[in-house]
Amino acid sequence: MKIGIIGAGMVGRAIGKLAVGSGHEVMLSNSRGPQTLFSLSRAIGCEVGTVEEAAAFAEVVVIAIPLAAYRSVPVAPLEGKLVIDTDNYYVERDGSIPELDAGETTTSEMLARHLPRSRIVKAFNAIIMDDLEKGGRPAGSSERRALPLAGDNSADKAIVARLYEEFGFDAVDVGLLAEGWRFERGRPVYCVPMNASGLKDALAKAIR
Ligand SMILES: NC(=O)c1ccc[n+]([C@@H]2O[C@H](COP(=O)([O-])OP(=O)(O)OC[C@H]3O[C@@H](n4cnc5c(N)ncnc54)[C@H](OP(=O)(O)O)[C@@H]3O)[C@@H](O)[C@H]2O)c1
């Protein structure tokens, strides 16, 4: 697949590296421009571009920026595309967002409102990137960890589940995008290593 990544920090780099290792074509981008990503492109073996170029290049776009910047994500180039939302809400970094503080919405539903003609899947947000890079294990391994995802379209979730699988993780489908609160920051499963059955149990017991 052609995967465009908006954000080239901890998350963009980790997913980019793993995706290249799994045979995907990757274009990384940030707000400062591809000239700031020259060394990274060599290290990862990916292309680099502007945010608009990464969006246009991609079949699947990964959003990996501080949540506070989500409104800067370009709308038109992402129309009709699968968009994987990795963002989390940290008030100390993103400032206070009253809707989230009140539990009225989720970070991914906010992104979905901003990108009304894109198909959003919430994924890769509930694992520390060092664990994502080093924690993948073959299917059936007793140490194999599971990761949650949520979205409104089964075919899109299957594509994201395949990426989890390629990176060495089981996928647990949490349901519709609105259920994504179950694995946001502060929930019991957030960034805690669990296998698939443990993760399903903990997700079911989450209290909003
Ligand atoms: N770190 C983790 O282990 C982890 C795990 C799961 C989820 N997350 C979540 O994933 C998101 C990214 O986290 P991170 O740790 O990768 O952050 P980070 O290391 O600070 O990287 C953020 C990246 O986004 C770019 N960026 C910032 N504003 C942008 C904009 N408006 N347009 C395009 N690019 C922009 C930054 O580059 P420029 O400033 O040069 O544009 C930088 O490359 C956050 O919401 C975080 O909470 C993090």
Residues 39-59: what's their mean pLDDT? Answer: 98
- Take residue 2 and report the two structure tokens written for it: 């052609």
- Measured by CA distance, the residue closest to atom 39 of ligand 1 is 31
Atom number, ligand 1, closest to the C-alpha of residue 126? 6
Helices 154-167 and 10-21 meet at what angle, rounded to 10? 80
Residues 77-94: what's their mean pLDDT? Answer: 98
Residues 63-79: what's their mean pLDDT? Answer: 98
- C-alpha separations of 15 from 44, 90, 91, 171 in Å: 10, 21, 24, 16
Residues 68-91: what's their mean pLDDT? Answer: 98
* Residue-level pLDDT at 105: 98
CB 59, CB 34: distance < 8 Å:
no
Distance from residue 91's CA to the centre of ligand 1 (Å): 15
Distance from residue 201's CA to the centre of ligand 1 (Å): 30
Residues 173-194: what's their mean pLDDT? Answer: 98
Q: Please name the helix (run of DSSP H) or strand (run of DSSP E) that holds residue 114, with its range, or none.
A: helix 107-114
Distance from residue 11's CA to the centre of ligand 1 (Å): 7
pLDDT category of residue 159 using cuts at 50, 70 and 90:
very high
Q: Across the chain, how many H-helices and E-strands are there?
A: 9, 8
pTM exceeds 0.95, yes or no: yes
Residues 3-25: what's their mean pLDDT? Answer: 98
Residue-averaged pLDDT of the chain? 98
Residues 42-69: what's their mean pLDDT? Answer: 98
Atom number, ligand 1, closest to the C-alpha of residue 90? 47
Rounded-to-integer distance, Cα 83 and Cα 69, Å: 16
Residues 115-144: what's their mean pLDDT? Answer: 98
Q: How many CA atoms lie within 13 A of 123 on its CB side?
A: 34
- Take residue 119 and report the two structure tokens written for it: 């198909």
Residues 88-95: what's their mean pLDDT? Answer: 98
Report the pocket of ligand 1 as residue ranges, CB < 6 Å.
Answer: 6-12, 30-32, 51, 64-67, 69, 72, 86-88, 90, 125, 128-129
* Residue-level pLDDT at 147: 99
Residues 141-145: what's their mean pLDDT? Answer: 97
Pocket test for ligand 1, best of 65, 130, 134 (most atoms within 8 A of CB): 65
The greatest distance separating any two alpha carbons of the chain, rounded to the nearest whole angstrom, comes to 46
